Amino acid sequence: MTGPASLTPQQAAATLAWLVDAGADALIADRPGNWLQAPAPSLSPRPEKPAPGERPAPQDQPPPLPLQGGSPAPQNAPAAPLSARTLDELATEARGFASSLNAPNSAFVFADGNPRSKVMIVGEAPGQQEEREGKPFVGPAGQLLDRMLAAIGLDRTDEENGVYITNLSPWRPPRNRTPSPQEAAECLPLLHRHIAIHRPRLILCVGGTSAKALLATDAGIMRLRGRWADVEIEGERYRVMPTFHPAYLLRQPEQKRLAWIDLLAFQSALRSLDQR
């Protein structure tokens, strides 16, 4: 069995990405250790008991561990006041939406596909190529997504079987990184309004960042994928199926087997809707 020193930079990056997608998104210590070994006895003196009627001295508490991206766990982010009632109005209003990702001169990538579709695809954030073209999922990951959708009879350009595609964030994070938990929390009210206006019957959520934000959970995509969940937005309930992001499948093609299982479950639910 080869050790970490034998990994190439590409293999190390892929392994780290797999761990993050599996839910290992926090560092426990600055060096590896045996967590099955009993801890060494503490040499620090025991605190003296307070005298009767005396309040105990406060103990120092360690700071909370950072989550993925190095940001602290987001608190309840205040909902942005969004008044849009149509997709066109939302696209206009979103350009001035308050988010740390919405920097001056940032390219805006709103949506693509059939706006009348009963299926919505929700990704994480646009990449550099998406930023250039102004459409979500047009790069290598988008081309794989198109093939995945075609395998279950869906096409973003089809007026009858088309899908509607958007992202949690319409702005590209610096250096193409994944949106941090705080950035995801900032963009969530915009996504909620987007869903409430579009009113999809089914939502396919691709990627751990968008799935965790939409489902309000810290669980990783390995635990979330393939399981239907209900999300209530503005008084309506929506069915959500999380699965892997196509960019992750390009790095880890062996996981396409699980993604195919998720797609078949999504196709089955879609057919059930058509039969009603």
Mean pLDDT of 245-254: 96
- pLDDT: is 273 or 126 the higher one? 126
Looking up residue 107, the CATH number of its domain turns out to be 3.40.470.10
Q: Please give the C-alpha separations between residue 153 and each of 24, 109, 120, 149, 268, in angstroms, as whole numbers.
A: 34, 25, 15, 6, 11
In a domain? residue 6 = no
In a domain, 17, yes or no: no
Place of tokens 């309000």: 216
Write down the pLDDT at residue 49.
Answer: 52
- Tell me what the pLDDT averaged over the chain comes to: 82
- Per-residue model confidence (pLDDT) at position 273: 87
Domain span holding position 203: 82-275
Angle at the Cα of 25 (from 23 to 31), degrees rounded to 5? 125
Using DSSP, state whether 202 is helix, strand or coil: strand
Q: What is the pLDDT of residues 182-200, one digit of tens each?
A: 999 999 999 999 999 999 9
The reply to whether 45 falls in a domain is: no
Task: Report the range out of 26-40, 99-113, 223-237 with the highest average pLDDT.
Answer: 223-237
Count of domains in the chain?
1
pLDDT digits (tens, 9 = 90+) for 30-82: 556 655 555 555 444 454 555 555 444 444 443 333 333 333 334 444 444 78
Which of the pair, 156 or 37, is modelled with greater confidence? 156
Q: How big is the chain, counted in residues?
A: 276
